[in-house]
Structures are given as C-alpha cells and as structure tokens.
Structure 1
Amino acid sequence: MRPATREVICDTATDVLEPRVMQVLAALAQRRGSVVSRGDLVTECWGGRAVGDDAINRCIQSLRRLSQARGGFSIRTVKGLGYRLDETPRASPPSEAVTLAVLAFDNLSGDPTLGWFSDGLSVEILQTVAAGAGVKVMGQGSSFQFRGAAKAAGHVGAELGVTHVLDGAVRRAGERLRINAHLVETAHSVTLWSQTFERDLTDVLAIQDDIARAVAAALSLTFAPSRRAKPLDPATYDLYLQARSPLSGIGGAADAMEHARAMQLLEQVTAHAPDFARAWAELAMRRVVCLRRFERSTFPGLTPAGAAEAANTALRLDPTLGLAHQAISYLGPLASYSARETLHRRALSAAPNDPEVLNHAGQFCAEVGRLGEALEHARQALTLDPLYWPAAQWYAGMLDALGRHDETPALWDAYTARWPDVEPLAGEAIAAAANAGDWDRLERLDETSRLRGLDSPSFRAFVDGQRNRRIRDPRFLQTHREIVAARLAQDGRLSLADIVRLHDLGAPEEAFEAAARASFAHLFDADGQVVGRWTPAILFLAANRLMIADRRFVSLCASVGLASYWASTGRWPDCADDPELPYDFRAECRLVLGAGGR
C-alpha cells in the first residue's frame, strides 16, 4: 500500500484508489485487527467535518469490492461499534469450480424429537451462507440426504461434485445453544476451518451470520452481512423452524392439511416477531401455494391480498429476499406475463443460486414458449440440487419437451432407479417413451413400475392414456369429447390441457372449435380461479408440433394473452424461429392482434 500515490499493490496488480477511500483504508490498516469507530473515521479522514453516513458507506463498499477482487484483507462491520480490517491469506478469487454443500447438522441434544430443530437451523445456515458468499451452494434437497457415515466429505464430494462441505453438530440445552461447525475440502478431506459457537438461543440469528462469515473467510471471499432481524425468543424460533422444515414449493407433495398447519405456525411467528423478514416470505409462499393448488373453499379466509401483504412486508424488511419476489410472481392475473417476468427477474437477481427460484423462473419461460431458456434454468437448478427429484424430473422433462428424446432414456433410467417409489418420475418416464414413439420401452417401464408397487388406479389410468397414443381406441376420444362438452356447458372454461388432449386424440377441428368457444377471462382476473392444468407450457411441447403447425394455434395463444406479450416485448417463443413451420409466426401474431385478438 502506498498512501502517497493512492496505490494498492497485490502481487502484480496495482489499483489506484480515490483519495478518501485510500484515507479510510490507511486508517483501518494502521489499527488492523482492532475496531475503528465511524467517529474516528470522520475525524481522521474528513477532518472532523460533518458528513453523512452515505459517504462512509461508499468508501467501505469500495474497499470490500477491492478485497473481493484482490484478496489479502477483509473488512468486518462490528454492529454498533465500527469497522475492523482483518488480514486473510492471499488467494485467487473462487471460480465457478468452487461449490459448497451444507449438510444437515447432527442433533446431539439427547432428545430425538429435536431433530426438526437441528435440521431447521441447518437450513437457516445454508440460506445465510448462500445469500452472502460468492460460491454456488447445493440445495438442501440434495445435501440433506447425507446422514451418519454417508456424511464423509469424500463421499459427499463424489456424489454431489462439490469441492467443499460444511458440516457440524447442534447441542441444545434449554435456552443455551452450542454449535460445532467445520469446513472440509473434499478432494483430500482436509479441514480448512473449525469453530465452536455457544450462546443463548435468542442469539441464534447472529450465530448463523457468524458461521457464514467464517466460511466466507476460509474460502477467501467477502461476505456482506445479512439484514439482521431483532433477536427471537426461543419459543418463537421453535415455531418458525417447525413451519419451515417441511416447506415445499408450488407443485410440491405436501397436502392441504400440512400447508394449513404451517401457515398457522408462521402467522404466530410473524405476530410475535413482526420484523422477521424471512418468516413473512415463507408465509407469503405458503399462502400462494394454497391459493394456486387447492380449492378456495378449503381455505375460506385466504385471499391473494393476504399473500401479497405478507410478501410485501418481507420485501419492505429485506428487499433481497428472492422467495418473496417469487411469491408475488404467482399473484395477480396469470396472463400478465410482462409483470410476472419482471418479478421472476428480480427473484433471480436477488437469489441467482437458489434452485427453487431457478425452477420457478424456468417454469415461467416454458409458459411463454422459451423452452431453451427454461432448459438452462433447469440445468442450473439440477447442478445445485442434483439429489432433489423434482429438479431431476424438470430437467429431463424439458429435454423431452424440446424433442431431444435420444438424450433422456438414460436419465429416466437413472432417476427412476434412484427414486423407485416416486410416482411422478415413473409417469414422466413413461410419457417420454410415448412422446418418442418407443412403445417397447413404454411397456418395459410399465412392467418395472408395477414391480415397484406403483399401481394406483390414477397411475394405471395415466399409463393407459399414454398407451392409447399408439392404439387410438375411439372410446378415449368419445370420453374426452363428453368431458369438454360438459365443461363448456357448465361455465365455458377449459384448461389448455383439455384442448391439447382433444387435438392429440385425433380431433383437431373439434380442438380449435372448443378453443374458440372457451372463455379464458379468469386468466386476466387477479382473483380468477385456476382451472386444471392452466399453464400454457403444454402448448409448446415437441409432442404438440402438429397443433403448432396450424395457423389457428396463434389465435389460441392470443386468447390467453401470449400474442400481445410477444409482440410488445419482442421476446418471442422458440417456435417463432422454427424453419419447418409452414407460416410466418410473427406475422400471424400481428395479424391476429390487428383483428382484435388480445
């Protein structure tokens, strides 16, 4: 460091700092390892003149960016006191090859019923590390599958492809908490850092931040402190962990009763701790799940406004919460694609390495016909959470949706072998075989599913429907005609799956006629009730290419608001550039819109 010339030299690189930034660095470096108050910085660097907080914050942020780029030191905020400069081993910034798995910490409390507590606390540590450190962190769906002897760093590294593992143990005695944590490099099972934290349970949020900072320092990163909530009393934190532990995203396997219980717990948490942003975000997502997955009559007091209030409260307290942005993206009119896309982008910006956020963003891209982009989000999510079966299903399913059927048989075989009792995976694998016209494979997969006990009436009906795509039994078509007619007569609403299925069963004229008669007004209504499989993603599957090749397909897309979204944003679906399409997709969209389409 050369204060006279404002130069900071790191190995062969030289950075010239702004005068005030250099003064702040010099003041901190002179007392490295000790806390320097904001008042002292004002006196030494601004000559005691009155300056706003923004001036100091800007200098500290500049120095932290330098630390992240060059290494060698870090600047820690000591709440209520000031700042401290610590020297760190000089290392190159981490590359994309650095990945971390945070394992479920062991419960050493002697009370097996507190397993939910150690798991829940581990989830919070995982999220804190992922939010602050510049490395990719595996999702809990994968990392929490390792227990006992399977937690050996080398084994986890081989299974997940991670370079580092954070593991530990939790011991709770009343309102005292002791956490032993250690960071291990997986290639050689070398412990890089180990520490014990012992505090009152009311300081649990501070412990999470401290562990995250220690991990970041061990990896030579800069960790930005999280927005600290006020201390939680142990009883409230217990309620939060009980509600948080079983969280599943939209499309998860939890039933209405589980969600109802979790919402009740989270409502108690937010009542006792109204400044706890993450609890508000969790509550918002739970409410959205219930609004979108279940009949409104199941939750008579639940409204979109209530879900929005929870999400907005979370963002007011902490604008960086990607989960809250994601919750809002599922509210409002479902056909408001531009507004929803903005929220998905915010969620990705806030949480770019969150597998759940990546999956939701990918699902939106599929809704608007950008399947290639959806596949990339799915690939990233699976990389971060490779042992989470919904991520695996979504990735392989997107490959099949793009017609890349030759790439997926090995994937489906691997996934169904790893999760042999997961019915949705087996069903998707069978549907993929039908999409590829590989009927021998379909029968082999069906036989395997029977041997594994997947033989429920609903699953049998699904498999029979896929098999019928070959044999074309006219009874299937007649049954579906009756279903469509009954729904049109009842309230005029059809799901897009109803229309696509009618076309797939060999009745294209009836399919487009039904689409023209159907009402999709509920998709433009903020309080509209979703009907069946509403998502437009089904329209763009490779299996639906014959329907896409018909010009009337564009009118169907216009009726659900897609054509106006494409034309106004210029973000067209992949099929618009299909050289085998027998018409100009963009021109047809503009023609339909000019004729009064949405």
Structure 2
Amino acid sequence: MNGASDLLTTAELVRRDDFTLGAVQVSPSTRKLSGPGGEGSLEPRAMQVLVVLADAAGRVVTREELFRRCWGAAVVGDDSLNRAVADVRRLARTVGDAGFRIQTVPRAGYRLLIEAAFPPESVRPIARRAMFALAGLGVAGAFGAGLWRVRRDRARAQAGALIGESEQEMRAGSPEGHGRAVRALDRAADLASDDPLAWGRLALARYALSEESPPEQATALVAGVQDAARRALTLSSRQPDALSALAILPPYFGDWAAAEQRMHRVLGVAPDHLTTRDARAFLLTSVGRVRENLAERLAMAKEDSLSANLLYRLIYAHWIAGEVDAADRVADKALQLWPRHPGAWFARLWTLAFTGRADRALAHLADASLRPDLPDFIIDSLGTALRALDSGRRADIRAAAAQLMAQVSLGPPLSVNAILLLGGLGEVDRAFKVATAYFLEEGPLMASVRWRPGQFSVSDQRRRKTHMLFVPATSGLRADSRFENLTERIGLAAYWRGRGIAPDYRNG
C-alpha cells in the first residue's frame, strides 16, 4: 500500500492483537514487551516501528517506508528513526533472551529476524537435570557442547545487532550519539570478545567521543582507543577500523606529513574506509589542497549521503570551491536530516554570511528552532558581526571587531570564528593578531588553544586547526605578505616543500 492509507496510527496500535516474537510477548495496545527478563514499555513511535517490521515477516523495510508508515506527513530527520530502532533494541535486550533482533541493512533499511529462543530460567533446571540423567549414555558432553554453541551464536547475533545500532548513532555525528555508540559497542565486545570488528568499531567510537569530552574524561578515552585497537589488531592484524583509530588519534597541527602518511597506510589496506578518507579530506583542506578535498568529498557523498559529518563538510567543500548553489543544496539537505546539528548549522551560516547574504545569515541566526545550543554571548557577537557585514559601516565593523577580539580567550572555536569574521570584515591586521596568538602563542592577545571545562566548545574544533586559512573569507590574509611568514613559522611551508606541491591559492 502507498500513501496515507497504510499509516499506522496510535489508534491502530490499540486495536492490534498481541503477538509473540521469539521469547517475547508484544502488546501493541499497551506498548509493552514481556520476556524472560521482565517487562518494559516503548514510546508510541518505537512500537509503531516494531509492528511495521513484524508485519514485514522478515522482509527488508526501507527507511522511506518506515517514515511513511510511522510518521506520515511529518517532516523528521533520520535521527528520529534511529532513536526508535535503538529503543526497541535496548528494550529487547532488557527483557531477556528476546529471540529476535532488528538487523540494519546498509543503505536499504531494516528487517526483523526471529532467532531460537533460549529457555527461560524456570526451564533451565529441567534441562540441567535431563543432561545429568543422560550422562550415563554419553550424551551430556554433546548436549553441553550444543548448548555452548547456541549461547555463542546468540551472543554473536546480539553483538552484530549492537554494531548495527552503533552505526546509526555514529552517523548522527553528535556527542550523545557517540556516547550511545560507545555503550553499544562496549556491550558488543563483551558479548563477542573474539570479534575484531566489535573492537575496531569501539576504538573509532571512543576516539569520536574523546574529541567531545572534558580533558579528564578524554584522557581515559584515548587510552581506551588504544586498548580497543590493540585488541582488534591482535585478532586481525589488518582490521581497518582499529588501524584508522590509531592513525587519526594523534593531533597533527605542525606534523601534517606524518599524519598523511599514517592515513595513506590505512587506505593501502582498506581503500574505501570512509572514516579515514574523511580525516584525510579534512587534512587536505588544512594544508590548502582544497580542490582535492572537494573531489574526495563528492566521491564519499555517493557512498554515504546521510552521515551528518560527511554532509556538513561537503557544504564547506562546495563553498570553498566557489560552488555556492551546490553548497546551499547540501545545507538544505543536511539541516532537514539533522536539525540543530552544530556543524551543518555553522556551515550554512558561513556560506550565507560570506557570499553577500549577511541578511539571510542574520535570519538563520535568529531562527531558534534550527539553532544549536549556543551561549548567549556567542549569539550576540555573531549578530554584531553579521550586522556589520550587512551594513558595511565602519563604526559597525570596529564594534564587531572589538567584540570578537575580546572573546578569543574563551575557547579554541572563538579564535577560528574570529579569524573567519575578521577576514570577512576586512580587518586583516586584527585577524593576523588572532592567528599569531592562536597558532604561535605570541603577542599581547591571549587566545585559547586548548579546550578547558566551562569553555565554549564545538566538537570538531577541540584541536588547533588551520582549515580557516584557506576559505574565501580569509582571502585578504592570503594576499598579505605576512601570510607567507605565518605559514613558514607554523610548518605549512615545510610541508609543501617536503611534498613537492603548492597550495591551491598560489596556483590561482
């Protein structure tokens, strides 16, 4: 069926009969699941998803069909479906040996699989007595081996479901999603300790979460990245997720060539590994190779067009390349799929602000329904800078510049924002002062170069970055004679000489 006729409403749930999935009794009318381990309730939308998957009887249900059947005409992002599926999976584990799992079918959707249910606790003593009764016939050993295999296979199936769940959480690109992915993968690695994929994915998830955590937590997570990666590589010496985690873990400001070599080695083992390709593409922008970055971003978009992080970085790639219409289209898609995602939101802001549409950037800033959670002082300073860009009045520009300069000590992202906005406002001298403080820790200006608790944070700006030196807004810096001295002192010029290449801005 198509259209609204097959919409599964909450009223329809009330009229549905109870049914069984493996060892679990499902009651759509009360939204409860009951199993050997207890009972629990689902939110209405999660129960709708479960019922639609159960109705499909093992058929793959596309994400589009799930959105149509469960959300109807409501406009929601992938995160809503991801949460509903994750809620069902979590409750299925909570109520015990569920006997069913939701399988993620990459780039397609989901399907519900029924597994052999393990006997509930009340039955297990009978099974054990039967085993001992059969011991005299030499059957107990075979029975025990079979039981062990059932448990092992069930554990592996559960681990596979958890790995699938973590993939969806990682695609959201949020700290909360990364935290849920780490918890799911911790459990997967416990269930299948001999599975290198579980350990490798855990290493990558811990890395992502470490980039968003306070220093005291990040230290433990970094150690956890290394531990999980070593476990994966002990089981499989070429496990690509583990190799990638170890390659991208060290900060590479001032050491771009070594980082690029590490990433190349991973891609030599797994040429299509998206996380490594994403990291390498960002490195390309950071060293001024923006055309190569765009080519790689476009290639990755064909393989995964729904990842929040890949989408918002594609917005930047189009903007840097002067493809404003393409940047706008990707920004529309990203914010429809992942409303309030900080990376997508800022990418749209900068694209509007620095392409002669400061008035639209101001409207974007004012729309609280799309805006991520930002401190009031950030919203205020962005508004001041955008109004100065819009008016072009000298007094407005001076006021905006002073406000931006006063904030660079409040967190590394403030220096990045200041360099961008000061460059866009034509305040090149002030932009160089911020750059000197941020990159070289020199001069009277005290810029924050490391994130500390209580400071403003954006998840992908916790390390010192250079990408903003090569965007359209900072063209005035690149045209200034001081830029070559800056690149020499921070090591970019040495990178270019060592690689025998020139950055794109020198080639026109």
Coarse TM-score class (shorter-chain normalised): 0.5 to 0.7
- Asked whether 1:554 is paired with 2:484, we answer yes
Aligned equivalents of 2:219, 2:333: Cα separation in 1: 42
Aligned equivalents of 2:98, 2:174: Cα separation in 1: 35
Offset, 1:546: 1.0
- Of the candidates 222, 231, 235, which is equivalent to residue 313 of structure 1? 231
**Is the 8 Å Cα contact of residues 100 and 115 (structure 2) preserved in structure 1?**
yes
- Asked whether 1:442 is paired with 2:442, we answer no
Offset, 1:390: 3.6
Aligned equivalents of 1:371, 1:508: Cα separation in 2: 22
Offset, 1:241: 4.6
CA 1:418–1:268 in 2, change beyond 3 Å: closer, same or farther?
Answer: closer
Listed as ranges, the matches of 1:24-173 within 5 Å are: 110=26, 111=33, 144=63, 146-147=65-66
1:317-346 CA distance string (max 9 Å, x none): 234433223212222242322222233234
1:548-575 CA distance string (max 9 Å, x none): 1123222322333322222112243222
- Asked whether 1:253 is paired with 2:174, we answer yes
1:107-140 CA distance string (max 9 Å, x none): 9564497979x99xx9xxxxxxxxxxxxxxxxxx
Offset, 1:437: 1.1
CA 1:443–1:383 in 2, change beyond 3 Å: closer, same or farther?
Answer: same
Aligned equivalents of 2:440, 2:215: Cα separation in 1: 19
Partner in structure 2 of residue 577 of structure 1:
507
TM-score where L is the length of structure 2? 0.60
Aligned equivalents of 2:337, 2:180: Cα separation in 1: 31
CA 1:275–1:563 in 2, change beyond 3 Å: closer, same or farther?
Answer: farther
Aligned equivalents of 2:497, 2:156: Cα separation in 1: 50
> What secondary structure sits across from 1:332 in the alignment?
coil
Listed as ranges, the matches of 1:299-378 within 5 Å are: 299=218, 301-302=220-221, 304-335=222-253, 336-378=255-297
> What secondary structure sits across from 1:403 in the alignment?
coil
Aligned equivalents of 1:259, 1:423: Cα separation in 2: 15
Between 538-547 and 171-180, report the one with greater CA deviation: 171-180
1:275-315 CA distance string (max 9 Å, x none): 2212221221233223322221245634x444223223323
Amino acid at match of 1:482: A
Offset, 1:547: 0.7
- Of the candidates 386, 394, 415, which is equivalent to residue 466 of structure 1? 386
- Of the candidates 300, 324, 339, which is equivalent to residue 381 of structure 1? 300
Listed as ranges, the matches of 1:157-196 within 5 Å are: none
Q: Please state which structure has a larger fraction of its residues in strand.
A: 1
**Is the 8 Å Cα contact of residues 427 and 463 (structure 1) preserved in structure 2?**
no
- Of the candidates 275, 278, 282, which is equivalent to residue 201 of structure 2? 282
- Of the candidates 379, 390, 398, which is equivalent to residue 317 of structure 2? 398
> What secondary structure sits across from 2:250 in the alignment?
coil
- Asked whether 1:428 is paired with 2:347, we answer yes
Amino acid at match of 2:249: L
TM-score where L is the length of structure 1? 0.52
Offset, 1:436: 0.8
Offset, 1:363: 1.6
- Of the candidates 511, 514, 523, which is equivalent to residue 431 of structure 2? 511
Partner in structure 2 of residue 7 of structure 1:
none
Offset, 1:399: 0.7
CA 1:299–1:548 in 2, change beyond 3 Å: closer, same or farther?
Answer: closer
- Of the candidates 407, 417, 426, which is equivalent to residue 483 of structure 1? 407
Aligned equivalents of 1:348, 1:372: Cα separation in 2: 20
CA 1:307–1:559 in 2, change beyond 3 Å: closer, same or farther?
Answer: farther
**Is the 8 Å Cα contact of residues 405 and 432 (structure 1) preserved in structure 2?**
yes
Alignment length (residue pairs): 384
Aligned equivalents of 1:415, 1:263: Cα separation in 2: 24
Between 556-565 and 416-425, report the one with greater CA deviation: 416-425
Listed as ranges, the matches of 1:486-505 within 5 Å are: 495=415, 497-505=417-425
CA 1:146–1:450 in 2, change beyond 3 Å: closer, same or farther?
Answer: same
Amino acid at match of 1:315: L
Where does structure 2 lack aligned partners over 5 or more consecutive residues?
Answer: 1-19, 27-32, 34-39, 54-60, 71-88, 119-149, 442-448, 452-460
Offset, 1:360: 2.8
Amino acid at match of 1:337: W
1:474-493 CA distance string (max 9 Å, x none): 22211233334x58xx9x99
CA 1:282–1:428 in 2, change beyond 3 Å: closer, same or farther?
Answer: same
Offset, 1:502: 4.4
CA 1:438–1:504 in 2, change beyond 3 Å: closer, same or farther?
Answer: closer
Paired-residue identity, %:
22
CA 1:275–1:384 in 2, change beyond 3 Å: closer, same or farther?
Answer: same
CA 1:179–1:389 in 2, change beyond 3 Å: closer, same or farther?
Answer: closer
Partner in structure 1 of residue 495 of structure 2:
565
Q: Please state which structure has a larger fraction of its residues in helix.
A: 2
Between 557-566 and 528-537, report the one with greater CA deviation: 528-537
CA 1:378–1:231 in 2, change beyond 3 Å: closer, same or farther?
Answer: farther
1:131-159 CA distance string (max 9 Å, x none): xxxxxxxxxxx9756526569xxxxxxxx
**Is the 8 Å Cα contact of residues 399 and 405 (structure 1) preserved in structure 2?**
yes
Aligned equivalents of 1:376, 1:547: Cα separation in 2: 25
1:378-424 CA distance string (max 9 Å, x none): 21222222244443322222111222224434444455456565565
Aligned equivalents of 2:493, 2:479: Cα separation in 1: 16
1:427-467 CA distance string (max 9 Å, x none): 432321211112454356557x3576879645565454334
CA 1:416–1:339 in 2, change beyond 3 Å: closer, same or farther?
Answer: same
Partner in structure 2 of residue 545 of structure 1:
475
